[in-house]
Amino acid sequence: MISNVIFVIILIATILLFYRNVRIIARNIKLGRDVEIKNNKAKRWKLMFKVAIGQSKMVTRPITGILHILIYVGFIIVNIEMLEIVIDGITGTHRLFAFFGPVYNILVSSFEFFAVGVVIACIIFLIRRNIIRVKRFWNEEMTLWPRSDANIILITEIFLMSALFTMNASDRILQLRGLEHFVNVGTFPLSGLLIPFFNGLPDNTMIFLERFGWWFHIVGVFAFLNYIPYSKHFHVFLSFPNVYYSKLRPKGEIAIMPSVIKEVKLMLNESAMEPVEEENAEELTFGAQKVKDLTWKNLMDAYSCTECGRCTSSCPANITGKRLSPRKVIMDTRDRLEIVGKNLDKKGKEYDDGKSLFDLITPEELWACTTCNACTEECPVNIDHLSIIIDMRRYLVMEQAVAPAQLNNMFTNIENNGAPWQFSREDRMLWAEDLNMVVK
């Protein structure tokens, strides 16, 4: 009875804490500039099924893609068992769903295969990260915390699955010994292999082991759930909405700045057509200096990133040793947003720490981008790195006028001669002179 009460208390605490943390993240995302993304619902659902649920972009790198799917499917499937565990915990029943008979056994047995898949994939991932040291896990932005975060996630998942096996193996032994409470649900194909190791132990120890496995697994899952909002692992939730809300237009299109349209029309002397309505127009920054200048979708991108680094490993600038790393741009955006959120909670709305995105992302990084979209093409959860880079460039150019000198020359040339180079407009047809063609 006491254990039921303890379980319910832990369960409620878990839910409340998780709810609180998710609300903070949602609030932080909403700090971003408002953009309406509502069109093409059918297309968006399709995209989400393909890219997020179907993991279509993961398998472009087949080995890691398939291993990731193993963990992904494994976790979803094994979590079906969570339902039973939670009900058992509340009511004090044991393997409540056992009355399904053989179906139950088949289900629980298949869960074991998925669980083993998860363990194998996690071990391979740990080896790739820590022993093989795949380059993208050791880039500059992969400091101690991001590296530890990844390892904590992988090791926790291995522990959680091991607890499941301990629980099943000792449960089966107790079933075979015919102890009351331990319903006979049949053999477990994989944890059954552990039976010889435990079999000599007395009933009490076996019951302890079973209970230990059960509690370790469920409390571990609850703890892990509340670790996720502090971790890159939050992608397990956000990748779905993030893909849903991702850009449907061709990658080549850069979002227009409506605030500039008005200014440009004034400059081109079309002011007559539009009466001035500047009075109540809110003060707008051209481009992005602070997280609030980015759109909420940019900020959702930041929380959806699981730091896999596929973007950076395909970035031409990064490949050739420049400072730019698209992953870092996303991580920096999230880190800055986290600080802004904490300031908001601790010091109130009026507080301003005087810092901006530029304290983390340098112009050198921004100017190295070729806008080639290799990063956005790679991202398995459709993060748009380029949109942030362009918006920050816009701030540098239009608010601060600090573009590299050669780019300023290019601007001047376009303004004066209508070409990025210093050539006269009058010479535009010289290329077509003295042109002959052979005909038969």
Site string for other proteins, 23-62 (x = CB under 8 A): -------------------------------------x--
User: Among residues 89 and 287, whose Cβ is nearest to other proteins?
Assistant: 287
Spatial contact of 166 and 143, defined as CB atoms under 8 Å apart:
no
Q: Taking the CB of residue 379, how many other CB atoms lie within 10 A of it? A: 26
Using CA atoms, how far apart are residues 296 and 384, in angstroms rounded to an integer?
Answer: 12
For residue 63, the minimal CB distance to other proteins (Å) is 16
- Is residue 281 within 8 A of residue 263, CB to CB? The reply is no
How many angstroms separate the CA atoms of 174 and 164, rounded? Answer: 15
Task: Indicate whether 328 belongs to the interface with other proteins (CB under 8 A).
Answer: no
What whole-number distance in Å separates Cα of residue 352 and Cα of residue 340? 9
CB of 334 to other proteins, least distance (A): 22
Residue closer to other proteins by CB (options 283, 426) is 426
Specify the residue, 144 or 437, whose C-beta has the smaller distance to other proteins.
437
Binding segment (CB under 8 A) for other proteins, from list 95-103, 217-225, 334-342, 385-393:
385-393
Span interacting with other proteins, options 19-27, 232-240, 342-350, 362-370, rule CB under 8 A: 362-370
Range in contact with other proteins (rule: CB under 8 A) among 3-11, 151-159, 164-172, 390-398: 390-398
Task: Tell me how crowded residue 55 is: count the other CB atoms within 10 A of its CB.
Answer: 18
Does residue 16 touch other proteins according to CB under 8 A?
Answer: no
Return the number of the residue (7 or 395) whose C-beta is nearest other proteins.
395
Contact between 214 and other proteins by CB under 8 A: the answer reads no
Q: Could you say whether residue 125 binds other proteins (CB under 8 A)?
A: no
The smaller minimum CB distance to other proteins, of residues 263 and 359, is found at: 263
> What per-residue string of b and e applies to 144-179 under the rule 16 or more CB within 10 Å gives b?
eebeebbeebbebbbbbbbbbbbbbbbbbbbbeeee
Nearer to other proteins (CB atom), residue 92 or residue 418: 418
- Locus of tokens 């730019």: 324
Task: Please give the C-alpha separations between residue 322 and each of 135, 140, 311, 325, 328, in angstroms, as whole numbers.
Answer: 15, 11, 14, 8, 13
Distance CA 365, CA 393 (A): 10
Binders in 284-313 for other proteins, by CB under 8 A? 286-287
User: Which residues share a beta bridge with 295?
Assistant: 33
Angle subtended at Cα 275 by Cα 269 and Cα 278, rounded to the nearest 5 degrees: 100
CB under 8 Å to 216, separation ≥6 — which residues?
159, 163, 166
* 207 token code pair: 């019951």
Q: Which residues contact 94 (CB under 8 A, 6 or more apart)?
A: 88, 181, 182, 183
Selected from 321, 346, 348, 354, the binder of other proteins by CB under 8 A is 321
Are the C-beta atoms of 124 and 67 separated by less than 8 Å?
yes
* Interaction of residue 324 with other proteins, rule CB under 8 A: yes
In the complex, minimum distance from the CB of residue 362 to other proteins, in angstroms, rounded to a whole number: 10
Nearer to other proteins, 132 or 319 (CB): 319
**Residue 370 found at the interface with other proteins (CB under 8 A):** yes
Which window, 9-17, 35-43, 172-180, 403-411, contacts other proteins (CB under 8 A)?
Answer: 403-411
Tokens of 41: 């619902």
Among 81, 141, 338, 377, binds other proteins (CB under 8 A): 377
Annotate each residue in 255-284 with x if it binds other proteins (CB under 8 A) or - if it does not, as one string: -xx--xx-xxx-xx----------------
Residues in contact with other proteins, total (CB under 8 A)?
75
Nearer CB in complex with other proteins: 187/314: 314
